[in-house]
Structure 1
Amino acid sequence: MLSLRLPILLGLVVNLACAEVTLWVSPQGDDRNPGTEAAPVAGLPRAAELVRAVRAARPTEPVTVWLGAGDYPVLSTWILGEGESGTAAAPVTWRGVDRKRVRLVGARPVAKTSVRRVTDSALLKRMAPEAREKIVEIDLAAEGVRHAARFPDYLRDTADLCVLFHDGARLPLSRWPNGPYGYATMQRVLKSGHFKAGMPDGGVFEYAGDRPARWRVALAEDGVWLRGFWRVPWVAETLRVGAIDAEARTIAFAVSTSNGIGSKYSKLVDGNRVGDGKENWFALNLLEEIDQPGEWSVDFKRRKIYLLPPAQLGAGSLALADNDQPLLSFNAARFVTLRDVTLGRQMGDAVVITDGESVRLAGCRVDGVVRRGVVIRGGRNHVVQSCDLTEIGLAAIDLLGGDRQTLAPSGHQIVNNHIWRAALSAPVPALIAGLEVRTQQLVGARIARNRIHDVSYSGIHFAGNDNVLENNELYRLGLDGGDLGGLYTTGGWTSRGNVVRQNFIHHSENANAVYMDDGDSGLIVEDNLVYRTESGVFIGGGHDHLVRRNLIVACPRAFHVDDRGVARKYTADDPRLRGDLDSVPWREAHWRERYPALISLLDTDPAVPRGNLITGNVAVACSTFARRSGKPETLAGFAFADIRELVDLADLADPAALDFTPRSPAARAALTSLPPFDLSLYGLQVDEFRPVVAPREVTLLKTGDTKRKAFDSQQDVNAYPR
């Protein structure tokens, strides 16, 4: 069929658009059409066929594919590869006519016949009385849902479970206590369930109140799972319950964990951490706990969803996402742009870019994704620009690229993006740059002008070499985690050449603004503005950092430095750090020339920090300028110079209104050699793909910073005897 229509199509190109081929797609189109504005095709795969034909016939002409308004269901991954690629002179652009009205969606409507009233008396008895008459059931077998299997005994991140949407908004699994940050706490740990300590059975703890007694029928029929920060505030785990003793008020888990339950910082008694009574946990996916509009649970045995509708259910208002593969995959694609499109309602990742060159996402919105928003793996010069990413289960953006062996840069750019409400399902960073498990695989990327806020954990995790993080704005971080950073790295001894400059990190009292953790080395931190965070710059051991010309305001401490490597034995035999060192050719000429300080790393004990310079920084109204955690002789590798400290917040014009102009003569003198800290330097800006910049949510800034108590990362340093 294509061959019959191709001459007509190419004729239209010659007559109507000599400099550019234009194709049209619309949900109201027909795949038998030629793809003109008057006669668009209907499907994205059909449009891709036309692109391949045009590229083969007229490879020197750019191609623009216009996507008309409406929903484009993507129930299996839409793949764009080499055949759909352009060139630098003749790129291929897929463009929505209006971002708000052009949507690529992974969910499909639930058939009205699959939604029924609940009639099973045993189930009705288990429901909350106030919700009993309103809850409906959805038949997953009738819907052909594949991802509704019983949870495993242990889960770290997200379950392999279908997702329910109503009018485009993701609905939450039932949770007790209610709310996105609703938690109960353990009263006391009776058994840690630490399998490394030879405890094959799960942990046991005492709980307060009587609520878990309601779950005993669920325990017998389908299972009960609890998710919590059982040991440390940066690891959340979901564990299956083995037994509930309502009389003793104890819960026993069916599975042990690597380090058991009970705070790492509580007393050790007979091999068990007794806990501190602050370990947060909640119950999920329980029929008994559906009591808020929009909550739902899955009955694995019956293969049913039970839902308390958020509103009147209209035709097509409910949708299920059941595809765990990416919505859109660029496989070795080159010079392809996707712009002005919304992607979402998706169980798997939204967009994955693998290898290739110069793939660009611009002016797009990623909304309602259970896993990651945009994933970049390899390739060169990929760009995510002026996109909005929100309601994301894990990281909004996750990128790797470049070659650490040769130090060839990736050229990737993450610029002018607005990221908020990310990491909703697990305490992971909103933006991951160069970290995959414990490896670091990013060279020569630029992350700039992004606004990141209202996220569960850190803002940006980064590692690798020669990456630049600049002019970003981050606030309201760490809403559901602890021991984290606005800009965080734990790259190791070889993660060098990275620059953190002219960023604004504020209103995050549960976060260290810039955090170099566990021996990370060779970072330049300069010209940043920090306001109301746990620490300004936190250096956890490591070597050869340069920290200069930063303004740090109203923090408990401007700086923290420690010698943790001594107690933790960060020697040349440390598997993590030595493994990182041996993974790159650090003795070869190109590495020696680029990072000359690294060549002498093993000449002395690498557990002892050295070569760190902290100079020309200004602290205003911070309780402590610098906390030095360790022995003087092992902290000698931290040199403080040109210390400038002001006690009174009134020395600045109006920090509460984000005006950090020096007001007093002392402040003007202290800040004289620092750059201007103008709000226009940070975060979002107007460009071709972002015509308007949304104002900062000032009410959020004034109503508080986090919903959990601030965690001082020194607590983890103290956990290791010196």
Structure 2
Amino acid sequence: MLKWILLYSVMIALPAFGQTQRIYVSPSGTNENSGTKEKPVASLHRAQELWRALRSQNKDASIQVILRGGTYYLDSTLVLTPEDNASMQGVLFIMGYPGETAILSGAQPLKTTWQNWQRGIYRSPVPAAVTIMDRLFINGQQQVLARYPNYDPNARFYHGVAADAISPERIKTWKQPAGATVHALHRAEWGGYHYKVTGVDDKGEAILEGGWQNNRQMGLHPQNRFVENVLEELDTAREWYFDAKEHYLYYMPQAGNLPATVQYAVLKDLIAIKGSAKAPVKQIILNNLQFAGNARTFMETKEPLLRSDWAIYRGGALLIEGAEFCYVSNCVFNEVGGNAVFVNNYNRHVNIDSCHIYKAGASGIAFVGSPDAVRSPAFEYNTFVPFTTMDFEQGPLNDNYPKQCDAKDNLIQYIGEVEKQSAGVHISMAMNIKVAWNTIHNVPRAGINVNEGTWGGHIIEHNDVYNTVLETGDHGAFNSWGRDRFWHPNRRVMDSATTANIGLVTLDAITQTVIRHNRFRCDHGWDIDLDDGSSNYRIYNNVCLNGGLKLREGFFRIVENNIMINNSFHPHVWFKNSGDVFTHNIVTTSYKPIRIDVWGKEVDYNLFPDAAALAAAQANGTDAHSVAGNPQFVDFAKGDYRVKPGSKALAVGFKNFPMNEFGVRIKRLQAKAAPVPLPKELYSQKSGTNTTLTWRGATVKNIDGLGERSATGLPDEQGAYFIKVPATSEAAKNGFRTGDVVLKIENAKVRNAKDFISFYQEHAWKQEVKIEVFRNQQSLELTVKK
């Protein structure tokens, strides 16, 4: 609220730039009015005509457009160009009236005359001019497009999935298969796919159009899929279906309560700020506005990004392109159909500040440049521009990309409702982007994603990112790729090229990216995941609450003074000359190396949980000066992981940093955020035969003595003993039973409860983890799915 008051105060003082002109807009106004407070106009488009007339008389005028409370149903995108403001002397300020809620909606009201049809379903004729309905709002609430399986708010994937969603047997029950929509996870759970059914073949199988939403083509997931927009699947309250041929809207109300108001989504982009590098739009401020009611865009998500898993739609409820010194503050993006904010191509000093992004269909905020600014771009994982034709100049080819832009103090939650290849904040082909003081939680994939190294210089700081990678896999709360010019899908080619010329690495990642003072949690991957080739990073003063930190085949990463709770450091397939540094960190399990023959420039001066973990590291030739012991956290239960005086961590150079500087600082947004899931136990400090740990609701302990050996039928005291598995626990859902003893995880022998937790954490990123269990005096294999 303080920020809003300060902004409003600035606007009141705008006459210092020149005389401020004010235009009022109200749903109860008329477009024949003059736009005064007493006689407001009715639409933003009419207000635009008025302010453009003012601007033509004085290009440096400051104009304040004030929207009274209510809903504004936009019949077309409001496009703001240099004609609206190209001056650094004046400002165009579009704001909601203080204390009122001004909603910009991409939906249109629909008059209905409901008739009782059958099975508790009502229908209403729809005007012939209405040909498409993507989303329906009844009494202001979004409804569920008829689907199979039915919508389940507690289901993990897509609110409900079924392997037989488009089976020939089910399709036979549909009168009109064409027009149905299929949503599915990627086969490897790297995002998702979306298709339209265009017909049925001679085998009774759906003919699908789509699938371009993922840049790593592997096909649909065999189980995690659902279908929607089928009349025969309309079988529960709040479901609806639009028959575009017969022009009928079908709806099943709750308890026969017919809708009072109905709206349907029409527009995809609500406001578009559109300029260019040569003619930028300048100093437009959007404040205290709510964006809602726009259409979904999953079938428009077609453009592949540089060798990542992503494809994108360059649009959103708010699209910003070719802008300078523009500011979006205190806005709400309420269940928008696709991306909330898309900052596209050339942009400088664009700030997204103090906004609430809730249940966006795709990403929260995206900063994405143009591939025409990239030297020798490649677009698919397996493609590579030959060295004989590669451009070896460093940095961007032109300035058609976002630079020096911010996303700050935003609450981004429950996004990726439709599109699973999404992120709270996404960065691609951009430079010097600051992502700071945001709270990002409950997302299907990464909270923050950096698509490639072009061109670095980002500052990722003071963010609180948790409940991440909830519907996908092999990812992190923070994720990055670095498949830049030096990167090749054949490791041998990459080895020889970078050995011959290490300068290839920073042709694109020209400036160091810094990740500092964040708190991350991922239970289905890594807290910080620097994947394929991610290079030129400095990572310090971060808390990793569960998933640890991974560095895979990149260069020049400095990782120091971080804390990894119930996990550790995951170095994967490093280069001989990586130049990587890992020092002064606290790890609470053994390192988790994969295919590591060399260990970078320096791995030393770290704190390990025990002598065995330290010895394992030293056997690899690292950590000669590291130590082992209890880190002595100030207050583990409350998430205060500063260490006490006398902690061995201090002896190896670890320095305390604040534990109360994560996430959004705006009180009203803090109140809307979900609680941070702090770890309940520090597993590494559990010791002794009677040690008990908690895993997915089950109580696990070491085998202790002859009595427990006899009870379980074991020949020795090796394994992790599940002494209590409540029927409602996640462990029970994964197949565990009271009395089970885990003997192996992915063929690694489990000696005790701590081994079980440690080994499981090592494999938690996988779609499935194979666990050997001893039950009823015989071994069996359980497959634990994420």
TM-score normalized by the length of structure 2: 0.66
Is residue 675 of structure 2 the alignment partner of residue 682 of structure 1? Answer: no
Offset at residue 222 of structure 1 (A): 4.5
Offset at residue 459 of structure 1 (A): 0.8
Give the structure 1 partner of residue 490 of structure 2: none
Call closer, same or farther: CA 1:354–1:211 in 2, change over 3 Å. Answer: closer
Instruction: Please show how residues 183-202 of structure 1 align to structure 2 within 5 Å.
Output: 183-184=160-161, 186=163
Instruction: State the distance in 1 between where 2:28 and 2:520 align.
Output: 47
Offset at residue 57 of structure 1 (A): 2.6
2:422 to 418, 429, 439: 429
Give the structure 1 partner of residue 377 of structure 2: none
Call closer, same or farther: CA 1:636–1:645 in 2, change over 3 Å. Answer: closer
Provide, for residues 416-439 of structure 1, a one-character-per-residue CA deviation record: whole Å limited to 9, x for no partner: 11111111112123234333xxxx
Instruction: State the distance in 2 between where 1:667 and 1:219 align.
Output: 70
Give the structure 1 partner of residue 432 of structure 2: 444
Give the structure 1 partner of residue 554 of structure 2: 542
Instruction: State the distance in 1 between where 2:183 and 2:243 align.
Output: 18
Provide, for residues 135-165 of structure 1, a one-character-per-residue CA deviation record: whole Å limited to 9, x for no partner: 223445x1633335xxxxxxxxxxxxx2111
Q: Secondary structure at the match of 2:145?
A: coil
Give the structure 1 partner of residue 569 of structure 2: 559
Instruction: State the distance in 2 between where 1:631 and 1:691 align.
Output: 47
Provide, for residues 147-197 of structure 1, a one-character-per-residue CA deviation record: whole Å limited to 9, x for no partner: 35xxxxxxxxxxxxx2111233322223333325354565xxxxxxxxxxx
Is residue 361 of structure 2 the alignment partner of residue 396 of structure 1? Answer: no
Find runs of 4+ consecutive structure 1 residues off by over 6 angstroms.
Answer: 13-18, 241-245, 256-259, 406-409, 699-711, 714-718
1:483 to 474, 478, 482: 474
Task: Tell whether the 8 Å contact from 1:496 to 1:523 is kept in structure 2 after alignment.
Answer: no
Offset at residue 30 of structure 1 (A): 2.3
Q: Secondary structure at the match of 1:56?
A: helix
Instruction: State the distance in 2 between where 1:243 and 1:15 align.
Output: 65
Call closer, same or farther: CA 1:434–1:75 in 2, change over 3 Å. Answer: same
Instruction: State the distance in 2 between where 1:230 and 1:32 align.
Output: 53
1:136 to 85, 104, 122: 122
Task: Tell whether the 8 Å contact from 1:374 to 1:398 is kept in structure 2 after alignment.
Answer: yes
Q: Secondary structure at the match of 2:83?
A: helix
Offset at residue 394 of structure 1 (A): 0.8
Instruction: Please show how residues 462-477 of structure 1 align to structure 2 within 5 Å.
Output: 462=450, 463=452, 464=454, 465-477=456-468
Instruction: State the distance in 2 between where 1:406 and 1:228 align.
Output: 37
Instruction: Please show how residues 342-361 of structure 1 align to structure 2 within 5 Å.
Output: 342-347=290-295, 349-361=316-328
Instruction: Please show how residues 195-210 of structure 1 align to structure 2 within 5 Å.
Output: none
1:454 to 442, 458, 477: 442
Offset at residue 489 of structure 1 (A): 1.1
Identity of aligned residues (%): 21
Offset at residue 61 of structure 1 (A): 4.0
Give the structure 2 partner of residue 145 of structure 1: 130
Instruction: State the distance in 2 between where 1:423 and 1:429 align.
Output: 6
Task: Tell whether the 8 Å contact from 1:662 to 1:668 is kept in structure 2 after alignment.
Answer: yes
Aligned residue type for 2:285? T
Offset at residue 97 of structure 1 (A): 0.9
Instruction: State the distance in 1 between where 2:211 and 2:369 align.
Output: 32
Instruction: State the distance in 2 between where 1:717 and 1:497 align.
Output: 38
Is residue 190 of structure 2 the alignment partner of residue 237 of structure 1? Answer: no
Give the structure 1 partner of residue 312 of structure 2: none
Is residue 270 of structure 2 the alignment partner of residue 327 of structure 1? Answer: yes
Instruction: State the distance in 2 between where 1:280 and 1:221 align.
Output: 20
Is residue 650 of structure 2 the alignment partner of residue 666 of structure 1? Answer: no
Q: Secondary structure at the match of 1:45?
A: helix
Call closer, same or farther: CA 1:184–1:328 in 2, change over 3 Å. Answer: closer
Give the structure 2 partner of residue 192 of structure 1: none
Is residue 108 of structure 2 the alignment partner of residue 108 of structure 1? Answer: yes
Instruction: State the distance in 2 between where 1:374 and 1:420 align.
Output: 14
1:528 to 542, 560, 569: 542
Offset at residue 99 of structure 1 (A): 6.7
Task: Compute the RMSD of aligned alpha carbons.
Answer: 4.1
Instruction: State the distance in 2 between where 1:676 and 1:495 align.
Output: 28
Offset at residue 306 of structure 1 (A): 2.8
Instruction: State the distance in 2 between where 1:406 and 1:257 align.
Output: 32
Instruction: State the distance in 2 between where 1:553 and 1:488 align.
Output: 18
Q: Secondary structure at the match of 1:54?
A: helix
Call closer, same or farther: CA 1:610–1:63 in 2, change over 3 Å. Answer: same
Q: Secondary structure at the match of 2:49?
A: helix
Q: Which shows bigger deviation, 215-224 or 43-52?
A: 215-224
Offset at residue 256 of structure 1 (A): 10
Instruction: State the distance in 1 between where 2:74 and 2:176 align.
Output: 38
Provide, for residues 35-72 of structure 1, a one-character-per-residue CA deviation record: whole Å limited to 9, x for no partner: 22122222211211221222233444422111111111
Is residue 603 of structure 2 the alignment partner of residue 640 of structure 1? Answer: yes
Q: Secondary structure at the match of 1:147?
A: coil
Is residue 68 of structure 2 the alignment partner of residue 68 of structure 1? Answer: yes
Is residue 532 of structure 2 the alignment partner of residue 502 of structure 1? Answer: no
Task: Tell whether the 8 Å contact from 1:392 to 1:422 is kept in structure 2 after alignment.
Answer: yes
Give the structure 2 partner of residue 384 of structure 1: 352
Call closer, same or farther: CA 1:300–1:393 in 2, change over 3 Å. Answer: same
Call closer, same or farther: CA 1:103–1:311 in 2, change over 3 Å. Answer: farther
Q: Which shows bigger deviation, 46-55 or 657-666?
A: 657-666
Task: Tell whether the 8 Å contact from 1:219 to 1:241 is kept in structure 2 after alignment.
Answer: no
Is residue 675 of structure 2 the alignment partner of residue 698 of structure 1? Answer: yes
Call closer, same or farther: CA 1:27–1:215 in 2, change over 3 Å. Answer: same
Q: Secondary structure at the match of 1:343?
A: strand
Task: Tell whether the 8 Å contact from 2:14 to 2:62 is kept in structure 1 after alignment.
Answer: no
Task: Tell whether the 8 Å contact from 1:214 to 1:288 is kept in structure 2 after alignment.
Answer: no
Task: Tell whether the 8 Å contact from 2:137 to 2:143 is kept in structure 1 after alignment.
Answer: yes
Task: Tell whether the 8 Å contact from 1:389 to 1:420 is kept in structure 2 after alignment.
Answer: yes
Task: Tell whether the 8 Å contact from 2:476 to 2:526 is kept in structure 1 after alignment.
Answer: yes
Give the structure 2 partner of residue 52 of structure 1: 52
Instruction: State the distance in 2 between where 1:715 and 1:257 align.
Output: 24
Give the structure 1 partner of residue 37 of structure 2: 37
Instruction: State the distance in 2 between where 1:256 and 1:312 align.
Output: 37
Offset at residue 668 of structure 1 (A): 6.1
Provide, for residues 502-561 of structure 1, a one-character-per-residue CA deviation record: whole Å limited to 9, x for no partner: 34344430131111111221122111111123xx21122111111111111123xx2212
Instruction: State the distance in 2 between where 1:288 and 1:117 align.
Output: 16
Instruction: State the distance in 2 between where 1:66 and 1:51 align.
Output: 12
Task: Tell whether the 8 Å contact from 1:225 to 1:241 is kept in structure 2 after alignment.
Answer: no
Aligned residue type for 2:132? H
Is residue 250 of structure 2 the alignment partner of residue 283 of structure 1? Answer: no
Q: How many residues align?
A: 580
Give the structure 2 partner of residue 307 of structure 1: 251
